[in-house]
Amino acid sequence: MSLLSSIRTIAIWEIKRSMSTMGKGILPLAVVLLLLLVLVTAFAAESGLHLQDGMYRIGVDDPDTARIVASDTRFVTYLDDGASLRENRFSYDIVIINGEVYAVDTDKGRAALNTLERDYESYVASVAAAEPDLFAAYPLWIDLQYVKSEIDFLATQSGQQVGAPVETKRPPTPSLPVEEVTPPSQGKLTTEEELREHLIESGDGQPLKRYTSLISGESTTDRLLTPSELSPPLPFDTIILVFVFIFPLYFTSQFFMMSVMNERVGRAGEALLSAPVRQAAIVVGKALPYFTIMILIAAAITLFARAPLTILLPLIPVILFFLANALIIGMTSRSFKELSFISIFFSTIATSYLFFPTVFANTHVISIVSPLTLVVLAIQGDGFTAMEYLYSTALFFATSIILFYVGIANFREEHLFSERRLTSRVVDFISTGISRNHPHLSLFLLAAFMIPFVFMAEMLTLVLFFNIPMPLSLLLLTLTAAVIEEFAKSIGLYAIARDRPGFLTVKNLLIGATVTGLGFLVGEKLLLFATLAQITESIFGSILFLSLQALWMPLLLHIAGVLITGGFLLLGGRRAYAPGIVAAGIVHSLYNLYFIGGMLL
Amino acid sequence: MNRRHINLIAKKEIAGLSSEKTIVFAILLQVFIAMFSSFLMVGLTAMYDPESIEGYSTVTYRVGYAGAESPLIDQFAKRDDLILYRMDLGEALAALRERMVSAVVYVPDTPPDAEDPVTVTLYLIQNDLQSGVVNVKIKEVLQDYEEQLREIRADRLIYSPVELNFPDSGGGESFFEFVYGLLIPLLVFLPAIVSAALIIDLITEEYQRQTLETLLSTPITFTEVIWGKIAACEVLVPLQAGAWLILLWLNGIPVNNVMAILLHVSTSGLVLILLGALVALHYRERTSAQFIFSTALVVVFLFVMAVPYNPLNLIVRLAVDSIGPTHWLVLALVAAATALLGWAITVYARRVGEKSP
């Protein structure tokens, strides 16, 4: 049977089987739940979401004032006369006596005051919107225009502070040629009726509208705003994209994960493994239906949101990444509960990895490490270049392909049905990749293939340490980066030491360390120059990828790191592995710190 | 039902959890989310309240001004963090593109007391962190200018709103509502959801791995097995929720009424766990059970949130200490519902147990 036709057979078989297990009793209940969901949504829309009800207590001496906050459920209003309000003022967060607002001096009191001020603003707006002479009530309108910056974020890239600190009397003169601009026309851009309507509409204060308009690609710049409507662009608007696009994809990948797991439960997959098809055909055939469904879901959401279909392109590597991880998690977990915990853990990390950089879409080069940034750019109508696509998806493609390869290579009886611990199963998987005849070549390749994972892990540490004050964050980043790299480099040696203790001689260790260091360096260079060259220019990049300047120094460092860990393994056995990594990590960080110190001083 | 048998099963499940080190993942997850949300908060506070971050306060932003002479210039002159430069519009926009100025305003020659509104055009750099900061500052200037124009045109107004005088709050967006009104209820309820997913795993696994027969060959009955598993999952809820509250406290976010909050979460969590158990007993297969349960979870949460005085809302109120003893009444109601569900589970489990021992 050719590979393609066997993939097709497996895919059809997978669809049929999941239909039969899922079909039993699922469909009627799913339909009922869907109907319930519609009903409940209608009920929730009618009644509103009561999450923040009654957070603040407010004491008021005048029924007219009480009406201002009447519609805001966050306030519980108490109507009382001024004297007793004054007496019991400490049981309220805010007291309003004779139009004077008093707030308790706590975080809560200040938050309540903020909320009240916003309520008051919308109350004033609603009064003003009823004025017959609208332009006396709203004399000032803002036409907000966004301009695209032509400088490639040089300031933020080098870790500098945003802003222009230089103070001069003379206006700055642009260096590029000045285009002739016609001043904006001063005729009324919109009619009075439209503006009035818009005022009443925005008085509702629907926070969700912001998100629905973001999804449907509506922009707020095509109409006039009052000054109080000017709000800074929310950086976490993009989190809604995570939910809309990423969550359904992740959810579907769960079915694949479960299908892989089901093959292992009670050795159910034995029949499949004994079929005359290659392992690659089995894995790809099983994954194919889920991949297709995920693409269809993404396309449906895109069409529904009326977004350009090009956003499917950056989603493909994300889908592959989810499927690859689902495969590995399904193959490694021992029990359902382990499966649940690992997949929740993985999804949180993957989601934050996808989400975090998009906060800086358009601002910082780091944003391109997430394919989701490209989705944001495409929805904004900016599009992305092929180069940017390569930048932001290369890591995802590389890790997915490597993970799929690992999964396929290990999709065998002795690994699928073993009951060993999670960590030792992972080592099993790695050890499969080390050839018996050419162990050194395998170590070289393994080290090179570890690079995308190392980069991903280091990017994540960047996310975590971003908000810690500067010298400490650099130190922590250096330490964790060093430990991650040392761990990644030595994992191959560890696998060999476990499965073939006789292999670990002084001579083999020296050769092994050299090829590992070399492989690591080659992989690093390839990936760096191909994709992340831009990031290396920022100050954080220079810590993560310090070893760019000279070639022989980092090579020696990488080899020395592996030698230290390997030496610990050689002398102390597998129990010395963890101390070995720590020791190598410390040496590695000292080297890095020495260079950063020299660079910064 | 024999309490010792239930204890035995519960201990077995918890021992299983700790031997598989899955609990490590749960703890790592908590720490990770805690760090991530603190990142979000610091980052966002820096954006909305630039003054709160040292170093920002000394930064001045350059603003290009084009068009007609207007009182807006005087409004800008009052600010020491914005420097205004009179420029030609084309030149100003070119400077903006090169980030030599942070914003450009174009003011038409409409007189302040005209029939028509004054329409100011504001140019900002698209989707940029700095634009966010500048936006806040210019908004304040424009609001002052709006106030000034309103006074000039005041004789054309009819209605007068209720006057309120606000104390000087120091301005700035605080994240009190985000933390107490969203983050805390979500984080505290996360363990309840995780435990409910866990009970499905525990029950379906016995079926799919066919280990149930061995277990039932002991004097332990099927109902006891189910309740033992429920107990194991339920114990984790207050433990994890408590860990969250400690993490929050370490992050400088004190939470009031901790005991009451844990009681509410444990009771509501038990409802979710019982629901999960019911679904798992019905399907006996993980994929179907998890699918139905997660869909049902969305429905349940949406419904609960739409009801006033729901447990999530009570946790918010308790956390900010804004509620009297009313919440005990709700707790009693939820507990009654739990007891009802528990009875249903017992009956159902007994029937299932008798049918397929």
CA A360 to chain centre: 12
Mean pLDDT of chain A: 77
From the list A65, A131, A176, the residue facing B159 with the nearest CB is A131
What tokens were used for B87?
């420029």
Q: Which of A56, A332, A340, A463 to mutate to test the interface with B (most CBs of B within 10 A)?
A: A340
For residue A239, the model assigns a pLDDT of: 58
Query: Is the pLDDT score of A24 beyond 90?
Result: no
B162 touches chain A (CB under 8 A): yes
Q: What are phi and psi of B155, to 5 degrees?
A: -70, -10
| CA atoms of B265 and B255, how far apart (whole Å) | 14
For residue A205, the model assigns a pLDDT of: 46
Q: Could you tell me the residue range of the domain that residue A73 belongs to? A: 56-132
- Is the Cα dihedral B321, B325, B326, B330 positive or negative? positive
Quick check: is A122 in a domain?
Answer: yes
| Contact at CB, A50 and B303, closer than 8 angstroms | no
Q: What is the pLDDT of residues A278-301, one digit of tens each?
A: 888 889 999 999 999 999 999 998
A328 touches chain B (CB under 8 A): no
Q: Which of B12, B47, B58, B99 to mutate to test the interface with A (most CBs of A within 10 A)?
A: B99
Q: Identify the residue whose tokens are 């020395």.
A: A560
Query: Is the pLDDT score of A368 beyond 70?
Result: no
What tokens were used for A555?
């090579």
Q: Are residues B40 and B185 in the same domain?
A: yes
Instruction: Sort out which chain B residues have CB atoms less than 8 A from A347's CB and list them.
Output: none
For residue A478, the model assigns a pLDDT of: 83
> Structure pTM?
0.78
- Band of the pLDDT at B260, cuts 50, 70, 90? very high
Q: Are residues A582 and A445 in the same domain?
A: yes
Q: Are residues A472 and A591 in the same domain?
A: yes
- What is the radius of gyration, based on Cα positions, of chain A? 30
Q: Are residues B282 and B236 in the same domain?
A: yes
A26 touches chain B (CB under 8 A): yes
For residue B199, the model assigns a pLDDT of: 93
Of A132, A155, A183, the domain-final residue: A132
Q: What are phi and psi of A289, to 5 degrees?
A: -60, -40
Q: Which of B23, B24, B33, B36 to mutate to test the interface with A (most CBs of A within 10 A)?
A: B36
Question: Facing residues of B84 across strands?
Answer: B63
Query: Is the pLDDT score of B136 beyond 60?
Result: yes
Instruction: Sort out which chain A residues have CB atoms less than 8 A from B176's CB and list them.
Output: 107-108, 110-111
| CA atoms of B200 and B273, how far apart (whole Å) | 8
The average pLDDT across A249-270 equals 86
CATH of the domain at A124: 3.40.190
A193 touches chain B (CB under 8 A): no
From the list A29, A64, A467, the residue facing B38 with the nearest CB is A467
Q: What is the pLDDT of residues A525-570, one digit of tens each?
A: 776 665 555 554 554 555 555 544 556 777 788 888 888 888 888 8
Name residues whose C-beta falls within 8 Å of residue A398's C-beta, 6 or more positions apart in sequence: A452, A527
Interior CA angle at B190 toward B185 and B193, to 5°? Answer: 125
From the list A34, A103, A138, the residue facing B167 with the nearest CB is A103
The average pLDDT across B158-180 equals 74
Instruction: Sort out which chain B residues have CB atoms less than 8 A from A65's CB and list them.
Output: 162, 164
CATH of the domain at B61: 3.40.1710.10
| CA atoms of A326 and A341, how far apart (whole Å) | 13
Quick check: is A457 in a domain?
Answer: yes
For residue B169, the model assigns a pLDDT of: 61
Interior CA angle at A479 toward A478 and A480, to 5°? Answer: 95
Q: Are residues B141 and B190 in the same domain?
A: no
B153 touches chain A (CB under 8 A): yes
Give percent of chain A with pLDDT exceeding 90: 8
Q: What is the pLDDT of residues A442-489, one digit of tens each?
A: 888 888 888 878 877 877 777 667 656 666 777 888 888 888 888 988
The average pLDDT across B326-346 equals 93
Provide DSSP, B55-120.
TTTT--EEEEEEES--THHHHHHT-SSEEEEE--HHHHHHHHHTTSSSEEEEE----TT-SSPEEE
| CA atoms of B20 and A490, how far apart (whole Å) | 25
Q: Are residues A439 and A569 in the same domain?
A: yes
Instruction: Sort out which chain B residues have CB atoms less than 8 A from A336's CB and list them.
Output: 200-202, 204-205, 208, 286
The average pLDDT across A340-344 equals 86
Q: Are residues A566 and A465 in the same domain?
A: yes
Q: For A154-158, A192-196, A274-278, B306-310, which range has the lowest pLDDT when averaged over its residues?
A: A154-158
Identify the closest residue of chain B to A377 by CA–CA distance: B127
Q: Could you tell me the residue range of the domain that residue B111 belongs to? A: 57-156
What is Dmax (Cα atoms) for chain A?
A: 93
Q: For A168-182, A283-297, B165-179, which range has the lowest pLDDT when averaged over its residues?
A: A168-182
Q: Are residues B36 and B62 in the same domain?
A: no
Neighbour order of strands in the sheet with B82-86? A140-147, B118-125, B103-107, B61-67, B82-86
For residue A154, the model assigns a pLDDT of: 37
Query: Is the pLDDT score of A156 beyond 60?
Result: no
- Band of the pLDDT at A507, cuts 50, 70, 90? confident
Quick check: is B163 in a domain?
Answer: no
Specify whether the backbone of B106 is left (phi greater than 0), alpha (psi in -120 to 50) or beta.
beta
Q: Are residues B230 and B336 in the same domain?
A: yes
Comparison of pLDDT for A504 and B127, the residue scoring more: A504
A341 touches chain B (CB under 8 A): yes
Provide DSSP, B4-19.
HHHHHHHHHHHHHHHH
Per-window interface: A 415-444 vs B, CB < 8 A: 422
Q: Are residues B284 and B182 in the same domain?
A: yes
Quick check: is A425 in a domain?
Answer: no
Name residues whose C-beta falls within 8 Å of residue A535's C-beta, 6 or more positions apart in sequence: A365, A366, A369, A541, A544, A545
What tokens were used for B47?
């954006």
Q: Are residues B23 and B63 in the same domain?
A: no
Quick check: is B115 in a domain?
Answer: yes
Closest approach of chain B CAs to the CA of A131, in angstroms? 7
Q: What is the count of structural domains for chain A?
A: 3
For residue A71, the model assigns a pLDDT of: 83
From the list A47, A99, A141, the residue facing B306 with the nearest CB is A47
For residue A217, the model assigns a pLDDT of: 44
The average pLDDT across A126-151 equals 78
Q: What is the count of structural domains for chain B?
A: 2
Closest approach of chain A CAs to the CA of B306, in angstroms? 5
Check residue A277 and report its DSSP letter: S
A25 touches chain B (CB under 8 A): yes
Of A197, A232, A267, the domain-final residue: A232
| CA atoms of B82 and B71, how far apart (whole Å) | 16
Q: Are residues B39 and B76 in the same domain?
A: no
For residue B40, the model assigns a pLDDT of: 65
Interior CA angle at A316 toward A313 and A320, to 5°? Answer: 165
